């Protein structure tokens, strides 16, 4: 039995062609215009080349993106589960640091209390000072003229004598011949001497250069640290002036030690 509408297979013929819709369309178009068929083949090649190029570009983009993600994964630090061990011993103490700045001055403390020993020591010192002052006053009061100047007493009877006699007079009274050690004492002695009327108006000082000309020393042999020479003095006139007197003006001059001048003592 034959099928209607189906292909007829004859002897000597090849296997019947099976045409799909696509092949039929291509065949129809190829049979209609062979030259145009060649154009379609070139167009397809160009289309394939474009698809191939686009595919290559997509692969390159995927490779770059994948590479970047891969780098990100490699740089990430893995976190491993940890387990705390036994704590170690404390380390050694470090060296002392440099000294810090000085602090502010503190408040004044409370006044301390006297102890029996310290109070007795202070009272003993005061008693000794009073005794010394009283002794000086008793000696000074034995003279006709006396005056307190600082810690000293100047005293005189207004008499005149040689240097040697004047030293003996003062020593026997419990004092010594006057000798100013500084400008203040020189001025105090000048003031006291101005109240005494004697002639000539000069007073002996306890200094000499008898042992070494020009080197003025006190009765203990110590070189004087204070001098108050008048203009053109000392002269050592005639090579015999080895003692010194103070004038009413307070200035000094060298004289002969055997000459008689006012005597003032001090204690
Ligand atoms: Ca002299």
Report pLDDT digits (tens) over 32-71: 444 444 455 566 667 666 766 765 666 556 445 443 333 4
Give the tokens for residue 197. Answer: 């009327």
CATH 3.30.360.10 applies to domain 134-266: no
CA of 230 to the centre of ligand 1 (A): 15
121 pLDDT more than 60 = yes
Q: How far apart are CA 47 and CA 167, in angstroms?
A: 149
Q: Are strands 160-161 and 261-262 parallel, antiparallel or unpaired?
A: antiparallel
Cα–ligand 1 centroid distance for 168 (angstroms): 22
Radius of gyration of the chain (CA): 68
Query: What spacing in Å lies between the alpha carbon of 181 and ligand 1's midpoint?
Result: 20
Distance between Cα 255 and ligand 1 center (Å): 8
* 209 C-alpha to ligand 1 centroid (Å): 5
pLDDT tens sequence across 161-180: 999 999 999 999 999 999 99
**CA 253 to centroid of ligand 1, rounded, Å:** 10
pLDDT given for residue 112 in this prediction: 80
Give distance in angstroms: CA of 205 to centre of ligand 1: 14
Check residue 221 and give its pLDDT.
97
Whether residue 200 has pLDDT greater than 80:
yes
Distance 252 CA to ligand 1 centre (A): 13
Closest CA to 208 of 168, 267, 258, 156: 258
Q: Give residue limits of the domains in the chain.
A: 134-266
> Which pLDDT belongs to residue 123?
94
Question: Residue 129: pLDDT above 70?
Answer: yes
250 in Cβ contact with 180 (< 8 Å)? no
Beta strands 265-266 and 176-177: pairing type? antiparallel
Distance 211 CA to ligand 1 centre (A): 9
Q: Of 228, 218, 221, 146, nearest to 186 (Cα)? A: 228
Distances (CA, A) of 212 to 166, 215, 221, 226, 256: 22, 5, 11, 18, 15
Residue 155 alpha carbon to ligand 1 centre in Å: 27
Question: Contact at 8 Å (CB) between 198 and 158?
Answer: yes
pTM score over 0.85: no
How far away, in angstroms, is 256 Cα from ligand 1 center? Answer: 9
């Amino acid at each position: 039995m034959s099928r209607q509408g189906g292909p007829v297979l004859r002897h000597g013929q090849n296997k019947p062609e099976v045409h799909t819709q696509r092949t039929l369309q291509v065949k129809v178009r190829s049979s209609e215009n062979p030259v145009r068929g060649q154009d379609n083949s070139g167009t397809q090649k160009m289309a394939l080349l474009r698809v191939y190029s686009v595919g290559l570009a997509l692969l390159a983009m995927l490779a770059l993106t994948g590479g970047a993600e891969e780098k990100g994964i490699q740089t990430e630090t893995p976190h491993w589960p940890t387990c705390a061990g036994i704590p170690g011993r404390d380390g050694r103490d470090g060296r002392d640091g440099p000294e810090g700045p000085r602090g502010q001055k503190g408040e004044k403390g409370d006044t301390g209390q006297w102890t029996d020993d310290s109070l007795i020591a202070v009272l003993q010192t005061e008693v000794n000072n009073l005794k010394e002052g009283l002794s000086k006053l008793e000696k000074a009061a034995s003279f006709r003229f006396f005056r307190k100047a600082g810690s000293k007493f100047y005293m005189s009877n207004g008499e005149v004598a040689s240097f040697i006699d004047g030293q003996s007079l003062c020593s026997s009274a419990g004092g010594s011949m006057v000798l100013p050690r500084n400008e203040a004492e020189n001025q105090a002695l000048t003031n006291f001497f101005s109240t005494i009327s004697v002639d000539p108006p000069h007073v002996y000082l306890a200094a000499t250069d008898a042992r070494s000309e020009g080197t003025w020393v006190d009765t203990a042999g110590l070189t004087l640290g204070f001098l108050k020479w008048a203009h053109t003095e000392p002269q050592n006139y005639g090579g015999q002036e080895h003692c010194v007197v103070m004038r009413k003006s307070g200035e000094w001059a060298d004289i002969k030690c055997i000459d008689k001048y006012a005597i003032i003592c001090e204690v």
